[in-house]
Amino acid sequence: MTWPAMVWIGGAPGAGKSTIARALARRCDLPLHPIDLWTYAHLDRLPPLRSLAEDLAEGPEYAADAFVRSSRLRLELVAEDVRERALGDVPALVEGPQLFPSMADGVDAAVWAAVWLVPDAEQTRRTREERLARAEDPAGRSRLEGLLARDAVLAELIRREAAECGRLVVEVAAEPEWARVCRAVEDALGALPRLPAGAELSWQRRYENEAACRQGRLWQADIGLAELPPYPFACECGTSGCAVTWSGTPDTYEIQRRNGWLVAHSAC
């Protein structure tokens, strides 16, 4: 297959990948493509998979291996999703724990640059605890320790694969110096082509916001959540370098942009 141009931010859960990728994409006018926002969209295009609870019941090594296997299956789906965005010469900033150093070798010409973040176990625990605090998710709470054990296995796998493949890893400490981590990621990715300001940048930010709406609603239905917690949506003003976000739910997002683009600050 022909692979679209991409830059990757991979790494174990809890390393700050999503936060750093969002900030970098908005500051540098890059199309952002978090794999997690296509999780439910991919399920219909994959062979039947065991549930997370079933995988965790087999132990952390089994659960980690199952995650890697499903991630490899999803890689071509990620490429198809990015290709549908019709980005031309601008690479998509793809981020997620589904990206492993060994996977980049098969698409090396298309992966312009890549970096992996690996967190200290304490940082991973804190991040997962914070996520659980945002929504009532008893099933998520019950499998916390199993997930943390699996996460530790994935972290070691990334370190090993990166060493074998000559890929860059940035270690994220228990008390991270986020400015240092961000600089390391930016240095690894280097200078990249930008989306044109104006309509094209606006359309790509709307595309990302609509993906966040779809994923949020499907997650809500899947776990039986009465109400979604608010989460950040990108400003769709189309101004180069705009990093302003607006916090809301899919329903309030659609109300907010009913008369056009979501404009999150008056200076737009």
CA gap 168, 179 in Å, rounded = 18
CA gap 101, 87 in Å, rounded = 24
Look at residue 268 in the predicted model and tell me its pLDDT. Answer: 45
Look at residue 62 in the predicted model and tell me its pLDDT. Answer: 98
Residue 102: count other Cβ atoms within 10 Å of its Cβ: 16
Look at residue 1 in the predicted model and tell me its pLDDT. Answer: 66
CA gap 217, 250 in Å, rounded = 7
Look at residue 267 in the predicted model and tell me its pLDDT. Answer: 52
Question: Taking the chain (268 residues) in consecutive chunks of 10 residues, what is each chunk's mean pLDDT?
Answer: 91 94 96 97 92 96 98 96 95 98 89 97 95 82 94 98 97 95 96 96 97 96 91 96 95 90 77
The residues, ordered by sequence, that sit 6+ positions from 167 with a Cβ below 8 Å of its Cβ are: 101, 104, 114, 115, 116, 161
CA gap 156, 165 in Å, rounded = 14
Residue 63: count other Cβ atoms within 10 Å of its Cβ: 25
CA gap 239, 182 in Å, rounded = 22
* Nearest alpha carbon to residue 120 among 21, 36, 11, 10: 11
Instruction: List 11's β-bridge partners, or say none.
Output: 117
- Backbone φ, ψ for residue 67 (5° rounding): -65, -40
Walk me through the domains of the chain, giving residue ranges and CATH numbers.
6-189 (3.40.50.300), 199-256 (no CATH)
